Amino acid sequence: MVVCRCKILNVPSSLGTLVKHLPLSKPKTSFPPPQTLSFNSQTSAAIRSSSSFETLTSRQKDQVRLYVDALLQWNQKMNLTAVKEVSEVMDRHIEDSLAIIPPIQNSYVSSCNDSFDNLRIVDVGTGAGLPGLVLAIACPGWAVTLVESVNKRCLFLEHVVNLTGLSNVQVVRERAENLGQDIGFREKFDVAVARAVAEMRVLAEYCLPLVRVGGLFVAAKGHDPKEEVRNAERAIKLLGASILQLRSVESHSPHGRRTAIICLKNHPTPRKYPRGPGTPTKVPL
């Protein structure tokens, strides 16, 4: 479904682009107002047991706690996540999102020959804000763009951005296929990330057109994505990139490990990519 372009919130000045947008339509479902959120004891206890979480500042911890509370409350009204318990949200979502920060930092420094302090990040198909919102909290110097085509999810994302006071996030309601052809976004980002969105061939066509030459595309995948990566090698090369490394990261998933697939953008993406809405899924490269 093609969604009207696009709602933007807190556009970082580094993008330097004005984008026409239409206001989001009002949801038919009522959602919990901001004042209903609380720092409940269950959230606090689960968060204290998280490992990567403990490396955050007190303000960042408060922002994560607000986000987790809001996620679970809004999830009662709409489908944001299959996870229902605070401990599971921390293990499967927050910790997994935090785990990809070191691979991004290390790969960017070694392969892009630049500092990772002020990156322009795009999270494609962010859904409930994973991993993008968590990255924005943990790395306040990063300008994070959350791309989501579903209106209700964008309303949730905007709510969390306002609730947590994040000033380094913009929410864009649009399909990745359309955004990749928009000159205001095409090849403007240092790093594109995606988690649990699509298979690698499709994901590459969604993400690589948004990455600048010399930037990175990082896909968070399962514990053994080697066959999926082999099938995607041609598509990745066609879109102007090469596979840099497969980085194993700790995870609370059933296998205990996940893989960050890191690609380096070597050349501009041919102008015909990404193809029209729905085509990358129906006819993968």
Give the type of residue at 150: V
Structure tokens at 76: 């009662």
- C-alpha to C-alpha distance for 174 and 107, rounded to whole angstroms: 28
Q: What is the pLDDT of residue 26?
A: 39
For residues 44-73, give the mean pLDDT: 83
Higher pLDDT, 188 or 55: 188
Half-sphere exposure at residue 14, Cβ-oriented, CA atoms within 13 angstroms? 16
Distance of CA 252 to the CA centre of its chain: 19
Q: pLDDT exceeding 70 applies to what percent of the chain?
A: 80
Q: What is the pLDDT of residue 223?
A: 79
For residues 33-40, give the mean pLDDT: 42
3-state secondary structure of 163: helix
List of residues 6+ apart from 254 with CB closer than 8 A: none
Higher pLDDT, 57 or 18: 57
Quick: pLDDT tens for 139-192: 999 999 999 999 999 999 999 999 999 999 999 999 999 999 999 999 999 999
Task: Look up the pTM and report it.
Answer: 0.83
Residue pair 216/116 in contact by the 8 Å Cβ criterion: no
Q: What is the pLDDT of residue 15?
A: 36
Q: What is the pLDDT of residue 203?
A: 97
Least confident piece of the model among 109-113, 262-266, 271-275, 276-280: 109-113
Q: What is the pLDDT of residue 162?
A: 97
For residues 63-82, give the mean pLDDT: 94
- C-alpha to C-alpha distance for 283 and 202, rounded to whole angstroms: 9
Give the type of residue at 202: V
Q: What is the pLDDT of residue 253?
A: 56
Least confident piece of the model among 122-131, 221-230, 271-280: 221-230
pLDDT over 70 at 78, yes or no? yes
Question: Average pLDDT, whole number, for the chain?
Answer: 84
3-state secondary structure of 254: coil
Contacts from 223-226 at CB under 8 Å and sequence distance 24+? 223/248, 223/251, 223/253, 223/255, 223/256, 223/257, 223/258, 223/259, 224/255, 224/259, 225/200, 225/259, 225/261
Give how far Cα 259 sits from Cα of 12, 49, 204, 219, 223, Å.
Answer: 30, 23, 16, 8, 6
For residues 8-23, give the mean pLDDT: 38
Reported confidence tier of residue 38, pLDDT bands at 50, 70, 90: very low
Q: pLDDT exceeding 90 applies to what percent of the chain?
A: 67
Q: What is the pLDDT of residue 88?
A: 87
Q: Delimit the domains of the chain by residue range.
A: 99-282
Superfamily for domain range 99-282: Vaccinia Virus protein VP39 (3.40.50.150)
Q: What is the pLDDT of residue 11?
A: 38
Highest mean pLDDT among 4-13, 16-25, 110-119, 252-261: 110-119
